[in-house]
Amino acid sequence: MPAKPPPLILRPEGLYCPDGDFFVDPVRPVARALITHGHADHARAGHGAVMATRQTLDIMALRYGADFAQSQQVAVGVSRIGGVEVSFHPAGHVLGSAQICIAGAGGRIVVTGDYTRTPNAACAPWEPVPCDILVTEATFALPVFRHPDPKVEIAKLLTSVADFPDRAHLVGAYALGKAQRVIMLLRDAGYDAPIYIHGALQKLCDYHIAQGIPLGDLRPATVARGKKGDFAGAIILAPPSAFAATWAQRFPDPVICFASGWMMVRARARQRGVELPLVISDHVDWPQLTQTITELDPAETWVTHGREEALLRWCEMHQRKARPLRLVGYEDEPE
């Protein structure tokens, strides 16, 4: 009797499920893809069929056009694909993000995609999904990464705005997820003034508002519509790439800020010329990662993109079976 293939295997395209004949977050076009969330290193155009949450499909259409795949299927409840059942569960990372549970003869596997346990008002919260095999990201899988409360980081930003009323505060934030999270953190902290946004953020912010995320008064960060001094004391959000262009020079003596878990690394902040680093992450840090493995107690942990070695060592020290997947094509950033 031939040996049964493992429930998930590595191929050049990414993680492949033989019993369902599909890939999870493939890095190149495939016949059938299940997508965890809309960030470009996980969600690519050109697949034959794509299954994802409604919000992830909408986000992919906004980014790539309505014809980003030959066919689309909204993940609702439990779906049968070949010899397995699949279901999508909130990951807490960005709007529409999901962990994918694959249940079949090989047991239950959960592919986390990117996730965080820290509350995020811009998307549904992470939920635990019991499993036999946990396939987890490891973006911040080093003991040094212990992210502070994002409310404390936002308080630093608001204190700086109050201390420097003649300067604009330019906050680098990626267009999907981080920008909307920063806006919601500001609103939750009581900041109800207009927030100015770069044009690259407009479509995704509009989509979040349409999905019921109350981002408040957002206005275009366009100097041409007013005087340079009109932005004194204002908070302006833009993708980090805008800071390398002359766009950032339009504003009055700007305080350059950047919202990212990587702002814990001072060298990264210096390299970007960041005056006010904001350590706000949409990924699990070391304590959350080890807590998740401990609480779910899977028979095996498979570690994907990120800092695999430290987590593998931790699993070994706690008598937990683990293996690295060494997936390529997934970036440290955007974060």
Token pair 């814990």 in the structure block, residue:
264
Using the 8-state DSSP alphabet, how is residue 325 labeled?
-
Q: What pLDDT was estimated at residue 106?
A: 83
Q: Are residues 199 and 314 in the same domain?
A: no
Q: Are residues 164 and 98 in the same domain?
A: no
Quote the pTM value.
Answer: 0.94
Q: Are residues 32 and 133 in the same domain?
A: yes
| Per-residue burial over 15-52, b = 16 or more CB atoms within 10 Å of its CB, e = otherwise | bbbbbbebbbbbbeebebbbbbbbbebbbbeebebbbb
Q: What pLDDT was estimated at residue 4?
A: 59
198, 254 in Cβ contact below 8 A?
no
Domain count, the chain: 2
Q: Which domain holds residue 260?
A: 150-278
Measure the CA–CA gap between 61 and 268, rounded to whole angstroms: 32
In a domain, 88, yes or no: yes
CATH assignment at residue 131:
3.60.15.10
Which stretches of the chain drop beneath a pLDDT of 70? Answer: 1-5, 223-228, 327-335
In a domain, 59, yes or no: yes
Residue 240 phi, psi dihedral angles, 5° rounding: -55, -30
Q: Are residues 179 and 104 in the same domain?
A: no
Q: Are residues 16 and 130 in the same domain?
A: yes
Q: Are residues 139 and 230 in the same domain?
A: no
Measure the CA–CA gap between 255 and 268, rounded to whole angstroms: 17
In a domain, 169, yes or no: yes
Q: What pLDDT was estimated at residue 7?
A: 87
Q: Are residues 54 and 99 in the same domain?
A: yes
Counting Cβ atoms within 10 Å, is residue 103 exposed (0-12), middle (13-18) or buried (19+)?
A: middle
Q: What pLDDT was estimated at residue 330?
A: 56
Contacts of 270 (CB under 8 A, 6+ apart): none
In a domain, 253, yes or no: yes
In a domain, 304, yes or no: yes
In a domain, 330, yes or no: no
Q: Are residues 314 and 248 in the same domain?
A: no
Q: What pLDDT was estimated at residue 250?
A: 84
Q: What is the β-pairing status of strands 300-306 and 321-324?
A: parallel
In a domain, 335, yes or no: no
Q: Are residues 110 and 259 in the same domain?
A: no
Q: Are residues 231 and 180 in the same domain?
A: yes
Q: Which of the listed residues 248, 263, 278 is the one where a domain comes to its end?
A: 278
Q: Are residues 154 and 131 in the same domain?
A: no
CATH assignment at residue 168:
3.40.50
Using the 8-state DSSP alphabet, how is residue 254 labeled?
-
In a domain, 4, yes or no: no
Q: What pLDDT was estimated at residue 63?
A: 96
Q: Are residues 140 and 160 in the same domain?
A: no
